[in-house]
Amino acid sequence: MFKINLLTDGQEKVSLIGRRIMIPLNQLVMQQIVDAPYGTVFVYDMEQVEGMNGSGIDEVIVKPLKWLRQEFKTEDKYLYLINLSEEEDHLYNLRKTLRDEDVVVVAQNGVSLEIIGDLGDASKELLELTYKHKQITARFASDSLEKKLNLVSTQLNKLHEQRLLKRQEEQLEEGGRQFVYSSLF
């Protein structure tokens, strides 16, 4: 896990309000993401954020996530959030902004999972199962949820492409291979 530092010049908190002042922060974040090794899991500590609006969320969260999704085959990097603040209305502002975007992000809320953005019920159920068990295969999910293996496999692959799950290929003793999907935290 690699924490992305949103603070500059000795700041105690950063405000993610306004696009114009967020563009340099976007460039700083993107440079950290590009420079990190393959397979890195990034985390934003939202304790650093005192306020946010749609423009700031777009620059610092949405654009990096869209880039990660677009480049997932070559970059294999991930991003999640921690320490969402009710006092700062983080969850409300994120939900409001991500509702209009084709982006979903996960947040660690204590020991539980918070899914922010539009994700269908079947994918949400599968994502929650993965975070509950930390690591699953399509076969395990298919058996647990009593759903067809090829459907579950396709959904897990989409969750991986959305950068919501990590994926690792495993060789089976009896021959063949399978993917193992893991939670980000």
Domain of residue 169, CATH code: 1.10.10.10
Phi, psi of 33 (to 5 degrees): -65, -45
- List the pLDDT tens digit at each of the 185 positions of the chain: 899 988 877 889 999 998 888 999 999 999 999 999 999 999 999 999 999 999 999 999 999 999 999 998 889 999 999 999 988 999 999 999 999 898 999 999 888 899 999 999 999 999 999 999 999 999 999 999 999 999 999 999 999 999 999 999 999 998 899 999 999 99
103 and 148 share a domain? no
Q: Tell me the pTM.
A: 0.92
92 and 172 belong to one structural domain: no
The confidence score (pLDDT) of residue 79 equals 97
Q: How far apart are CA 114 and CA 128, in angstroms?
A: 9
- We report the CATH number of the domain holding residue 10 as 3.30.750
Q: What is the pLDDT of residue 83?
A: 95
The confidence score (pLDDT) of residue 120 equals 93
Question: What is the bridge-based pairing of β-strands 166-171 and 177-182?
Answer: antiparallel
If asked whether residues 114 and 137 sit together in one domain, one would say: no
Question: In this structure, are 127 and 90 located in the same domain?
Answer: no
Same domain assignment for residues 37 and 124: no
Range of the domain at 11: 1-118
pLDDT of residue 7: 87
Cα-based distances in Å from 93 to 64, 79, 99, 157, 181: 17, 18, 10, 28, 29
- Residues 124, 84, single domain; the answer is no
- Point out the domain boundary residue: 98, 118, 138: 118
Q: What is the pLDDT of residue 149?
A: 97
